[in-house]
């Protein structure tokens, strides 16, 4: 077999690791290189994380946050949320610097605690992520495209597009077909050479950033009085601007408790900045520098973006109106929107512009964001599946990569899972459990933060070999331990807040079966490891030894 190479390809910044079959340490590793291609630089990793966060998706979530938490000042929730996420981001940054291998928390927790804990946590994340790949493909068809068509109509584009919007949003067959086209596109891009996969990510970021800027300029140059006049001209007196705003004002005003609980939706928006830890094996250059920008920098940049977004939205549309139109449209049935679409500020902007194409372009930002979510959250579990197989928890078949560094077997396997996810989202109510995904997600994040806090004490040798920044201390205590404990407590608070009746809007008995779904997935991951351990031990492969060191690059 040819020797493994770790050299830069001439004329390229990519570093290609070619696999080599070897026999060492009783066949603990059958390859000394993963075959993944190191082609992701700092800016690309940052853009990928920001795409996963969705720099304009808060124009959508703000509707649900305003309806579910009418007593919250959403601008203030950003200040609270960024403190929590910077702490969590710091932990992921340090662990990614100490263990720069693909798989993220699977590698971190597997080396700090035990591989069964790493697999359980990582499986929980992966189930959520692959569910999102199908779910957000559904969102493109059921929410994004109808809103885009309705915006075109409201801005003067005629009634035909509004008819199309209503037809698409009400037809499960059409939604599944369009969602399937979206998912096929996601899979095809994922099969491209790694550099093109991440170039697509950069393209999504640039285009959504342009839409963000255009929307911000539009809002900051529009007063509430101007919007009110346009809204009133298009709507009957029963839902005039003043009537809708009064509905919002009738709900008790801003409270400290409401704002504190309202961070749940803001925290939901922050999800995604740690994604580069999952494809760490494809990052070139210094892991500490790249992950510092991508993981630690992303939540700080994002906080500035959504803080401005919330403030601009309040400035142009008015907080009371936004609460009234959101609650009245989603829950009270007192406000009707064209085509039954969600009253996102991106859609409300259609009342301000005279160009149907501009109105459609702004709401296309939401379509593109949902596509970006489906794409990124499809990519992440493919790398997780690759990491499990590399450690022999699953068959090595899943570690096969193309010459372009694409784990194509993992991509195609999870492509099937993505279609199952899309079908479930379209034709069943099984995805009700995703209402509780925030609970499970932040519970798992808490485990990672706890692992970071204990890392210096339970894996002393590995910690001692970590970069100097990871080993930084305040007196005798590692900074990682201090921040890890803070992140652990904060993450589990958010997990708790995500399981409350107020967040879930439960009117009947509390559905514990849905709440327990993801913890059960966590337990199944632990069971899966021990089954794999028994099988591999019988075959003479000690996978427990594999977990005692880092996988190869």
Q: What are the boundaries of each domain within the chain?
A: 15-546
pLDDT digits (tens, 9 = 90+) for 447-478: 999 999 999 999 999 999 999 999 999 999 99
Cβ-in-10-Å burial (0-12, 13-18, 19+) of 296 comes to buried
Is it the case that residue 132 has pLDDT exceeding 50?
yes
pLDDT digits (tens, 9 = 90+) for 146-192: 999 999 999 999 999 999 999 999 999 999 999 999 999 999 999 99
Report pLDDT for 501.
66
Separation CA 460–CA 326 (nearest Å): 52
Alpha-carbon separation of residue 169 from 110, 358, 426, 549 (angstroms): 44, 22, 11, 51
Separation CA 472–CA 467 (nearest Å): 9
When pLDDT is cut at 50, 70 and 90, the band that residue 19 belongs to is very low
Cβ-in-10-Å burial (0-12, 13-18, 19+) of 513 comes to exposed
Report pLDDT for 504.
64
Is it the case that residue 483 has pLDDT exceeding 60?
yes
Cβ neighbors of 207 (< 8 A, separation 6 or more) are 365, 368
Is it the case that residue 525 has pLDDT exceeding 90?
yes
pLDDT digits (tens, 9 = 90+) for 402-430: 877 788 999 999 999 999 999 999 998 87
- Segment 194-221 shows an average pLDDT of 93
CB atoms closer than 10 angstroms to residue 407: 31
Cβ-in-10-Å burial (0-12, 13-18, 19+) of 191 comes to middle
Backbone angles phi, psi at 55, to 5 degrees: -70, -10
Q: Are 95 and 348 in contact (CB under 8 A)?
A: no
Nearest to 279 by CA among 104, 449, 412, 89: 104
Separation CA 240–CA 242 (nearest Å): 5
Strand locations in 210-329 (E) = none
The DSSP element (H or E) to which 87 belongs, if any, is helix 74-98
- Min mean pLDDT across 128-142, 395-409, 507-521 is at 507-521
pLDDT digits (tens, 9 = 90+) for 300-332: 999 999 999 999 999 999 999 999 999 999 887
Copy the structure tokens of residue 19.
């696999």
Q: Are 518 and 437 in contact (CB under 8 A)?
A: yes
Report pLDDT for 399.
83
When pLDDT is cut at 50, 70 and 90, the band that residue 18 belongs to is very low
CATH no. for 15-546: 1.20.1740.10
Report pLDDT for 503.
62
When pLDDT is cut at 50, 70 and 90, the band that residue 548 belongs to is low
Report pLDDT for 551.
53
Is it the case that residue 549 has pLDDT exceeding 80?
no
């Amino acid at each position: 077999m040819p020797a493994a190479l770790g050299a830069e390809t001439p004329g390229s910044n990519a570093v290609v690791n070619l696999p080599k079959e070897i026999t060492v340490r009783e066949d603990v590793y059958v390859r000394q290189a993963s075959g993944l291609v190191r082609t992701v630089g700092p800016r690309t990793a940052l853009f990928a994380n920001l795409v996963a966060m969705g720099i304009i998706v808060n124009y959508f979530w703000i509707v649900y946050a305003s309806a579910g938490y009418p007593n919250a000042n959403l601008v203030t929730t950003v200040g609270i949320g960024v403190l929590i996420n910077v702490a969590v981001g710091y932990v992921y940054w340090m662990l990614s610097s100490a263990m720069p291998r693909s798989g993220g928390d699977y590698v971190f927790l597997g080396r700090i605690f035990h591989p069964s804990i790493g697999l359980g946590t990582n499986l929980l994340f992966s189930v959520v992520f692959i569910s999102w790949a199908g779910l957000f493909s559904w969102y493109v068809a059921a929410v994004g495209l109808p809103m885009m068509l309705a915006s075109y109509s409201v801005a003067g584009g005629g009634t035909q597009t509004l008819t199309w919007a209503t037809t698409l949003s009400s037809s499960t067959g059409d939604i599944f077909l369009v969602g399937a086209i979206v998912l096929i596109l996601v899979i095809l891009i994922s099969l491209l050479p790694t550099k093109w996969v991440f170039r697509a990510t950069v393209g999504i970021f640039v285009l959504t950033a342009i839409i963000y800027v255009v929307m911000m300029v539009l809002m900051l140059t529009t007063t509430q009085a101007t919007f009110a006049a346009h809204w009133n001209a298009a709507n009957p007196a029963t839902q005039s601007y003043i009537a809708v705003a009064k509905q919002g004002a009738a709900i008790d005003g801003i409270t400290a408790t409401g704002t504190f609980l309202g961070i749940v939706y803001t925290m939901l928006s922050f999800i995604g900045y740690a994604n580069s830890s999952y494809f760490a094996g494809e990052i070139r250059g210094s892991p500490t520098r790249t992950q510092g920008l991508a993981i630690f920098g992303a939540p700080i940049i994002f906080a500035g973006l959504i803080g401005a977004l919330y403030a601009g939205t309040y400035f142009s549309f008015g907080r009371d109106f936004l609460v009234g139109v959101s609650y009245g449209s989603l829950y009270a049935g007192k406000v009707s929107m064209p085509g039954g679409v969600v009253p996102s500020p991106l859609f409300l902007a259609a009342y301000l512009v005279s160009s149907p194409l501009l109105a459609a372009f702004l709401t296309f930002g939401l379509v593109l964001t949902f596509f970006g979510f489906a794409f990124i959250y499809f990519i992440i579990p493919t790398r997780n599946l690759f990491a499990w197989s590399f450690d022999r928890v699953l068959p090595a078949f899943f570690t096969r990569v193309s010459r372009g560094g694409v784990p194509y077997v993992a991509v195609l396997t999870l492509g099937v899972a993505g279609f199952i996810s899309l079908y479930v989202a379209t034709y069943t109510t099984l995805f009700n459990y995703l209402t509780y995904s925030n609970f499970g997600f932040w519970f798992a994040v808490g485990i990672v933060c706890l692992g970071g806090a204990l890392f210096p004490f339970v894996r002393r040798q590995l910690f001692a070999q970590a970069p100097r920044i990871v080993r930084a201390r305040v007196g005798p205590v590692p900074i990682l331990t201090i921040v890890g404990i803070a992140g652990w407590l904060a993450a589990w608070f958010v997990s708790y807040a995500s399981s409350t009746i107020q967040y879930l809007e439960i009117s009947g008995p509390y559905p514990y079966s849905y709440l327990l779904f993801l913890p059960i997935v966590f337990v199944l991951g632990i069971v899966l490891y021990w089954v794999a351990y028994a099988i591999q031990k019988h075959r003479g492969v000690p996978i427990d030894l594999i977990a005692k060191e880092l996988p190869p690059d």
